[in-house]
Amino acid sequence: MSKRKKLNDPFDLILAKFIYSDNEQSYYDYLSELQETKEVLCLTTDPFNLLMWSHYGDGHRGYCIEFQPIFHILNDKEFPIEYIKKRPNITQIFKDFYDSKERLIQGHNEEAIFSYKLSPMFYYKNECWAYEKEHRIISYSKNDKSEGSLHDLMDLGLKITRIICGLNCSKENIKIIKNACEKINRKNYREAKNKLTEYTEKKINEILLKNPEITKDEVIKLILEKTFDWQVVDLTRLISDDNFKLNEIKIDL
């Protein structure tokens, strides 16, 4: 996840206006601290947007990772961006929060209180960015590095479901990504399989007796998909048609 200084919009995380007087320096200091201790994961709802691939996909030579939300973890973390013409004034909202934050935080998780009261000010962008169709997740920084830090996907409420190679992605890079997908799938399968209980093992044997034409491995995969939400990471690559529209074709793993 990236800190504000690494984002390509100089107004990101400071788009909302905050007006303070000389005797209110503490308000500004706290706001600055919030901005510098937050990290952002920027996502889009449209993996076939030509401009997004040009601006963020290394001229269509890169790849796009698709995530599926784990809703019971993600619910209070992910929000869509609101694209606006004018910077909103959050002065009073922020002052009210600051003046009562000690009382609000008592017995509660500070990050949850922040998300409820103040996070909307981090989800505004100028309307010129509307083509991005952005959703973002904001979290506390895990270190003092200026560029950001690594976060566990499970902690963010996400899991990988697909990797899409760009129109100009090289054969060498597609091969590397394919190998990575295969490793992820093997790892996910092993972890999910370890969750099988003795009852499930008995259930597997019952299914095999009734369906001798299928293998035990096929039964296990079916149970994992239905019961433990195990999912294969798919790999696709983009192609274009005569109308400049991007489509995808699947790559066998």
Instruction: Count the domains in the chain.
Output: 2
For residues 131 and 184, membership in a common domain is answered with: no
For residues 36 and 127, membership in a common domain is answered with: yes
pLDDT at 133: 95
User: Residue 158 in 3-state DSSP?
Assistant: strand
What global pTM score does this model have? 0.73
Residue showing tokens 């998909």: 225
Q: Is residue 61 part of a domain?
A: no
Over the chain (253 residues), what is each successive 10-residue block's mean pLDDT? 82 62 65 76 93 94 89 65 81 70 56 58 86 88 74 81 93 93 84 67 80 81 63 85 86 83
Among 123, 143, 161, identify where a domain stops.
161
For residues 40 and 138, membership in a common domain is answered with: yes
Helix 91-105 vs helix 110-117: crossing angle, to nearest 10: 150
94, 184 in Cβ contact below 8 A? no
pLDDT at 70: 72
Q: Which two tokens stand for residue 178?
A: 């394919």
User: Residue 93 in 3-state DSSP?
Assistant: helix
Beta carbons within 10 angstroms of residue 229's beta carbon: 11
Q: Is residue 226 part of a domain?
A: yes
Q: Is residue 19 part of a domain?
A: yes
pLDDT at 107: 53
Quick one: which of 41, 57, 40 has its CA closest to 49? Answer: 57
Strands, sheet with 78-80, edge to edge from the N-terminal-most edge strand: 38-44, 134-140, 78-80
Residue showing tokens 């400049």: 244
For residues 108 and 17, membership in a common domain is answered with: yes
Q: Which two tokens stand for residue 170?
A: 């090289």
Q: Which residues contact 1 (CB under 8 A, 6 or more apart)?
A: 39, 40, 41, 137, 139, 148, 149, 150, 151
pLDDT at 15: 53
- Helices assigned H by DSSP within the chain: 25-37, 50-56, 71-74, 91-105, 110-117, 153-156, 171-193, 198-210, 216-227
Q: Which amino acid is at 253?
A: L
- Cα gap 27→21, rounded to integer Å: 9
Beta carbons within 10 angstroms of residue 122's beta carbon: 23
Q: Which amino acid is at 193?
A: K
**Residues β-bridged to residue 250:** 236
Q: Domain of 136?
A: 1-48+67-161
Q: Which two tokens stand for residue 38?
A: 């937050």
Residue showing tokens 């989800």: 123
pLDDT at 36: 75
Q: Is residue 53 part of a domain?
A: no
Q: Provide the CB-side half-sphere exposure for 137 (13 A, CA).
A: 21
pLDDT at 69: 81
- Cα gap 57→59, rounded to integer Å: 5
